Amino acid sequence: MVSKKVENALNSQVAKEAMSSQVYLAMASWAEVQGLEGVAQFLYRHSDEERMHTLKLMHYINERGGHAEVPALAAPPRKMKHVMDVFKSILQQEVEVSQDINAIVDLCLKEKDYTTHNFMQWYVAEQIEEERLARTMLDKLNMIGEDKGGLYLFDRDLKAFGSAE
Ligand code: FEO
């Protein structure tokens, strides 16, 4: 059984993961309109992953005697300036999510909730990967700069990245 404190913290994380899915979805739609097919595919897929993160938390809350809440979500930004801004904001978002996850892990220890602590380790590992991926993408985009040919190849690589998974 989860305590009310832990349940509230997990529900607040449900809202954050759902919002991440929403933000990635808006970015994907923007990229698709720009003709960046590979970037769009990458972002659509990532939006699905964030939904999976949301559902995993919801099932856990319900299995542990709590009640997972479906949050109200704000509309994410519709337009981006440049693909670089997309990945900068992804990195910032993922760093914030990692901090949220760490805060829950910390709360679990304070509450002596070792079951939820164990469950949250999956998210800790996932965040390392999410941050790494965002940094790798940003490094590549920094190298490309304003080179249109480079952006074309970046987009094409992301398409292949998607189909290889
Ligand atoms: Fe589920 Fe990208 O954090």
Closest to 5 measured CA to CA, from 110, 81, 99, 89: 110
List of residues 6+ apart from 120 with CB closer than 8 A? 101, 104, 105, 108
- Please state which CATH class domain 4-164 belongs to: mainly alpha
Chain-wide mean pLDDT for the chain?
Answer: 95
Return d(Cα 12, Cα 15) in angstroms, integer: 5
Which atom of ligand 1 is closest in space to residue 53's alpha carbon?
1
User: What lines the ligand 1 site, CB under 6 Å?
Assistant: 17, 20, 50, 53, 94, 97, 130
Residue 164 has pLDDT above 50, yes or no: no
**Residue pLDDT, tens place only, 116-136:** 999 999 999 999 999 999 999
The pTM for the full model equals 0.93
Closest to 26 measured CA to CA, from 69, 73, 70: 73
Residue spans of the domains in the chain: they are 4-164
Residue closest via CA to ligand 1's atom 2 equals 94
